[in-house]
Amino acid sequence: MGRTTQRQDLKEERRREILEAALHVFAKRGFDKATVDEVAERAGISKGAIYLYYKNKDALFFSLFEQKMDEAREPITEAMRSATSLPDLVRRVVTAQLEFLQSNQEFFRIFSSEQARFDLDFQSDFRRLLRRRFNAYISELGKAIGRFVGPGEKTLSRDLALSLIGMMNTHTTDWIINHRSEPLTAKIDLIVSLFLHGVETFAAEDRALSA
């Protein structure tokens, strides 16, 4: 049993090393130009060894994306769990998501610019993964919002979750594809205020501060 566990640990460590190397190579060369040979060289292993874990370059990216989604889930889940009010929940979730995306901007810029180049089979698998992750996120955030808007407001809670996620994703997409110089986290206050108070209230507050 001990030897089996040790082998499993070694495999997981090797997977992490390969994914770290892939992220570096993809960021430096772009997904389309990067090669498995370059990833192997960066990881300090043979090309054949990589194929023991990943069948091709697309599979490498797929696993890298799943890893990033798993990493993002922990701080966001903690934000949901520890919130004490709806405003507190919104600020915690927005902060957790935008901070994570900002700290991993290298990867998400690659994802944004290169996803159209993936082959059709990979795109199909990737869409299923995105749909599963997206629906799970909506469900979890909707339940968290439901703690504060009432258990009988399930549809409203889901709609609010969709709205908040949409606001965050739209600002993130703009930040990534237009290479905005300001940090993504600079949008936290705006998103929180707009979500909680609406455009009219936010505009009134802005006018009052400018007076």
Arithmetic mean of pLDDT, 80-90: 96
User: Do 42 and 78 share a domain, yes or no?
Assistant: no
* Cα 4 off chain centre by: 33
State phi, psi for 187 to the nearest 5 degrees: -90, 0
Q: Shortest CA distance to 93 belongs to which of 183, 182, 176, 160?
A: 160
User: Do 119 and 157 share a domain, yes or no?
Assistant: yes
Domain boundary among 30, 54, 78: 54
* Cα 41 off chain centre by: 27
Provide the b/e sequence for 72-83 (b: ≥16 CB within 10 Å): bbebbbebbeeb
Encode pLDDT of 4-34 as tens digits: 677 777 788 888 899 999 988 988 888 888 8
Arithmetic mean of pLDDT, 182-210: 80
Q: What is the pLDDT of residue 114?
A: 61
Of 117 and 159, the structure prediction assigns the larger pLDDT to 159
User: Do 16 and 106 share a domain, yes or no?
Assistant: no
Q: What is the pLDDT of residue 145?
A: 95
Arithmetic mean of pLDDT, 162-170: 96
User: Do 50 and 84 share a domain, yes or no?
Assistant: no
Q: What is the pLDDT of residue 1?
A: 46
User: Do 40 and 76 share a domain, yes or no?
Assistant: no
User: Do 108 and 43 share a domain, yes or no?
Assistant: no
User: Do 116 and 43 share a domain, yes or no?
Assistant: no
Identify the CATH number of the domain in which residue 114 sits: 1.10.357.10
User: Do 150 and 83 share a domain, yes or no?
Assistant: yes
User: Do 146 and 124 share a domain, yes or no?
Assistant: yes
Residue 162 predicted with pLDDT over 90: yes
User: Do 95 and 32 share a domain, yes or no?
Assistant: no
What is the dihedral sign for C-alpha 46, 48, 53, 54? positive
Q: What is the pLDDT of residue 207?
A: 58
Q: What is the pLDDT of residue 57?
A: 86
Identify the CATH number of the domain in which residue 30 sits: 1.10.10.60
Cα gap 21→57, rounded to integer Å:
12
Query: For the chain, how many structural domains are there in total?
Result: 2
User: Do 94 and 170 share a domain, yes or no?
Assistant: yes
User: Do 131 and 176 share a domain, yes or no?
Assistant: yes
Boundaries of domain holding 150: 61-210
Range in 140-154, 163-177, 197-211 the model is least confident about:
197-211
Residue 125 predicted with pLDDT over 70: yes
Strand blocks (E) in 74-164: none
Domain boundary among 10, 39, 54: 54
